[in-house]
Structure 1
């Protein structure tokens, strides 16, 4: 397996392939820009994640090859001191050109992952790699989803006909991580994964408490941390005895379709054009003036003898605009009404001018960012409108959740989206005083800190907790040990508030790794800092599944069979025939056949063991 990239996703992906699936991995990182080799700490950043780096070879910007293992070292091994099955080799290359691909062994590789942060770099490298090795499995990281669809079709057409391994998969780490971040931030919204016609929802429930009946292991995916970390896929006995621990429970739901909530009368009134162009004070002033004109018309109708209602309104309007003759020869009441109408006419002129200026200003500021409105509360404060923040903002608005965004750079990727969606946005540095107050953090429900800086996210969270101690917090943190320390400290100092930390690369790496080894990963469920994978597998070729009763086909702590699809070998789907509906309530005594297809929940290690990739020789890496 070959991985090109130099950020957290590339490092975690290489660690996933090596440590979980036992693959031989070559990680190619960009060389230092000044032509010098990177220090050991720079290329050894991945080694801290891998624990199994057998060596590293660097290539400088001049194209020469620097041998040795200066950028990596051998780490880890089995319990008896034997070397670990997976290994990682680190190379340096200025760019993923033909020379770098050849040096990484692309002609002999089974799969290539291009996870640079730049879409153009990944596209150019994918085209070169497909030309050098037409049978290569490609996994490409692209933010542009429409371009990704076109690229998949183009590269699949260039692959050999009928070769299932020569596939192309385009993924986005932002799209993969956004649902989990939104689910962690929004109360009552659970992680939902589509699994072959089923919708699986992972909901967090509090501890049942002593004396209460706990859910069985069949629906309990994980027991939440009590100080030592979560317990994934517990057994029947552990699930029933852990009555003092919260848990993640799996539920099945039916898709009801997209139902938009019916807007209230207040919301409908706010959507009128009058409310869009004119301020509330001006609308009230115009309403009072209209009432005064109506009152003058009624008074004129009562005072002037032999006058109809239409004639009374006409006289009042003439007096209002000062185009009527003076009422010298008429009654005292008619004179008084004419003077009052003239006074009201004087008040009308500045109001009409204000309305014209305000309407013109509304047209000019239509492209400006909205400010948080008065009285806003219970909203989500979103920090950072980069790639991740933009995807999260889109999903929050799809759920009709009120959002206030905070972004330091006015030219950031998501600012244009916030402007088009009319989402209130505050431009400013979140570390400066008054920025979070402008976003009404004191009245908010949740803080989503998704900037690319861990320290900035932590500083914003600490400041928000000082303003509102019970605010729900979801942080984007990369380093696991740092995240654990932050979580425990915030939990101890604010036990009444909910704190969650997520790593985008940790959420996205399992999906990228599953695509590289050619497995169908339906989704990932985050459990604190760990991840549960939902995968679809064929039972044929897996002795742990094939020929076993359903009750014996699961292994506590490793994997669990969730659903069963008879004869799901994919041949009928290719022929256009409908695929059978998966069976959720699987009978315990049912024996899984060779042509069946199952949906399993598994840990990353459990999925690798279930697939038997560690026991395969290196020549069978495909």
Structure 2
């Protein structure tokens, strides 16, 4: 006979085993990540499995372009076809500190968020959404929920790279507007913090010694952000450089060769014979312009019969009238031909008019759509390429009047159709590494000094590309966005994300807890060389202080605004957190068999 208390104890053990809550007194926060692509992989690493408990919900199959999340040490993996109530309970949602929904399906993420709210109403939910407007509507219903877009975070980086800038960041904090700029572009008294040493683009140093940083975070003093300055330079150059050249190219592209030759021949005959006619007619007394003017009007409207004129004049009138009869339909044919060619070019995915000094964007997915929108908002002319006829960004491109060429960007003829040979920059952000690399190489073949901005999912391939082709700027969307997702999931207030090359710095607020390692320590204890820099300090009841003195003592509740890398921020958060108390699990009656 089984004793009732033993029966209850056994059921409790079975529940703990089923839900995976074998904590052994581990008081570290528990986070659940649902997703299997590169963003989910980098998010798990950004959370730091050594400092928190992480459970990852993966589908049975592996994402084709993502690293294997299951190989990350220190995490727990659950395989499930869908993120439903059973899966969330098995992952331990009731006791989790946060849930990250990283799937690429907006509707699926919303469904999972609503399910999670029913299971654990107080758990923090972070959703990855492309349609942020829809996500914000759901956010208002769920309470402790945040909606983020990795495409929105990464797009400014691609835009800045296309315009030849290092970083596109500007943000407002504590009453000041801060921008990322080159040190020589700002006054020394406006510099808040050194961001990076970019003297060697292949080996940028983040948060170096302040004297070595050539890229700085500075207070804005009315100047435009760097991307807008670059866009204005492009617009001015486009207006100044040979303004009639574009008109000539447009005219030549509209007129077919046969119609152009025929029209030119008829015009030449009409003008020549008409001019001779009115110059040889002694009663006209016309100057050269009046002769040409009268000739054209006569050719288009017809001539009166004049029997008292000589034979030569009558023959010239006959030729001029015949030329006029041919000229009118030729002009009509030229106009109709131009309209038909323009319509066919748009429907067939070609440019009706060649372009120059524009930016070509390959791939109209989540990132590409935001890139073309931001470039258009900056006044930059854009041409887009996508291999499918109805990509995600087709509606946005149509609204903005951006031409979309349907074709494979890996083929040189597709790039020729987009006028890559005369473009300002080529931004390749499709989801296929092979296509992206082939498009970049073909673009460089068409224009040797072309600026190429490349999106690559394979980190090792990106590193080798950068070392072999120093002319390319390669970026990983997931790597740039993951630190911000991790910080928001851990309820850190993210002020801004600063992308620099393939690195991403976070501007965030860290609160000093009572009894933490930073309690009673000077500000210099929170500075980590190449890891974290304190730029502002807010004490209770006081105004925020920028660049606080290193000897200032910290107390409970003090808010530190820091610029940090992922590892430096994790170390700082550990310093600012209250000490963890590990309570050992006492063996109970259920620890032995009946």
Scaled by the length of structure 2, what TM-score is found?
Answer: 0.73
Does the 8 Å contact 1:564/1:599 carry over to 2? yes
C-alpha distance in 1, partners of 2:245/2:199?
46
C-alpha distance in 2, partners of 1:220/1:441?
37
User: Does 2:489 align with 1:503?
Assistant: no
Gaps of 5+ in 1: 33-37, 54-87, 157-166, 207-213, 241-245, 492-497, 570-579
Shift of 1:505: 1.1
C-alpha distance in 2, partners of 1:463/1:271?
25
User: Does 2:456 align with 1:481?
Assistant: no
C-alpha distance in 2, partners of 1:340/1:590?
98
C-alpha distance in 1, partners of 2:209/2:510?
22
Give the 5 Å matches for 1:375-524. Answer: 376=356, 378-491=357-470, 498-524=471-497
2:564 aligned partner: 602
User: Does 2:184 align with 1:154?
Assistant: no
Q: In the comparison of the two structures, how many residue pairs are matched?
A: 533
> Structure 2 residue aligned with 1:202, among 180, 197, 211?
180
C-alpha distance in 2, partners of 1:545/1:267?
63
C-alpha distance in 2, partners of 1:363/1:226?
47
2:330 aligned partner: 351
* 1:299–1:204 distance in 2 versus 1, CA, 3 Å: same
C-alpha distance in 2, partners of 1:15/1:429?
35
* 1:267–1:567 distance in 2 versus 1, CA, 3 Å: farther
User: Does 2:57 align with 1:28?
Assistant: yes
1:494 aligned partner: none
Shift of 1:195: 3.4
Does the 8 Å contact 1:384/1:449 carry over to 2? yes
* 1:341–1:232 distance in 2 versus 1, CA, 3 Å: same
1:173 aligned partner: 150
Question: Counterpart of 1:28 in 2: which secondary structure?
Answer: strand
State the Cα deviation string for residues 504-535 of structure 1 (Å, max 9, x = none).
11111111111111112223233444322111
Shift of 1:248: 3.4
Shift of 1:404: 3.6
CA-based RMSD = 4.9
State the Cα deviation string for residues 468-496 of structure 1 (Å, max 9, x = none).
554333322233333323322334xxxxx
Question: Counterpart of 1:94 in 2: which secondary structure?
Answer: coil
* 1:319–1:402 distance in 2 versus 1, CA, 3 Å: closer
* 1:344–1:232 distance in 2 versus 1, CA, 3 Å: same
* 1:292–1:174 distance in 2 versus 1, CA, 3 Å: same
Give the 5 Å matches for 1:43-122. Answer: 45-48=68-71, 50=72, 52-53=73-74, 88-122=75-109
User: Does 2:206 align with 1:183?
Assistant: no
1:7 aligned partner: 37
Deviates more, 1:541-550 or 1:195-204: 541-550
> Structure 2 residue aligned with 1:16, among 33, 46, 60?
46
C-alpha distance in 2, partners of 1:137/1:526?
26
Does the 8 Å contact 2:516/2:579 carry over to 1? no
Shift of 1:215: 12
* 1:435–1:277 distance in 2 versus 1, CA, 3 Å: closer
Does the 8 Å contact 1:217/1:234 carry over to 2? no
* 1:322–1:472 distance in 2 versus 1, CA, 3 Å: closer
* 1:338–1:398 distance in 2 versus 1, CA, 3 Å: same
State the Cα deviation string for residues 407-431 of structure 1 (Å, max 9, x = none).
2222222344334434344433233
Shift of 1:323: 5.9
State the Cα deviation string for residues 411-465 of structure 1 (Å, max 9, x = none).
2223443344343444332333533344444444433232222233333334444
Shift of 1:596: 6.0
Question: Counterpart of 2:48 in 1: which secondary structure?
Answer: helix
State the Cα deviation string for residues 5-38 of structure 1 (Å, max 9, x = none).
1211122212222347x22111101135xxxxx8
Question: Counterpart of 1:90 in 2: which secondary structure?
Answer: strand
State the Cα deviation string for residues 209-251 of structure 1 (Å, max 9, x = none).
xxxxx99996422335869954332235xx45xxxxx853333
User: Does 2:215 align with 1:248?
Assistant: yes
Shift of 1:174: 0.9
State the Cα deviation string for residues 18-68 of structure 1 (Å, max 9, x = none).
347x22111101135xxxxx89x99981144x3x23xxxxxxxxxxxxxxx
Which of 1 and 2 has higher RCO (CA within 8 Å, sep 6+)? 2
Gaps of 5+ in 2: 1-30, 584-594
Question: Counterpart of 2:93 in 1: which secondary structure?
Answer: coil
C-alpha distance in 2, partners of 1:174/1:116?
13
Question: Counterpart of 1:400 in 2: which secondary structure?
Answer: coil
C-alpha distance in 1, partners of 2:539/2:432?
48
* 1:332–1:543 distance in 2 versus 1, CA, 3 Å: farther
Shift of 1:372: 7.7
Give the 5 Å matches for 1:582-621. Answer: 584=546, 597-612=559-574, 617=580
Instruction: Considering fraction of residues, name the structure with more helix.
Output: 2
C-alpha distance in 2, partners of 1:148/1:554?
36
Shift of 1:90: 0.5
2:527 aligned partner: 554
Question: Counterpart of 1:107 in 2: which secondary structure?
Answer: helix
1:76 aligned partner: none
* 1:324–1:435 distance in 2 versus 1, CA, 3 Å: closer
Give the 5 Å matches for 1:281-300. Answer: none
* 1:596–1:255 distance in 2 versus 1, CA, 3 Å: farther
2:19 aligned partner: none
Does the 8 Å contact 1:277/1:359 carry over to 2? no
* 1:343–1:266 distance in 2 versus 1, CA, 3 Å: farther
Does the 8 Å contact 1:199/1:255 carry over to 2? no
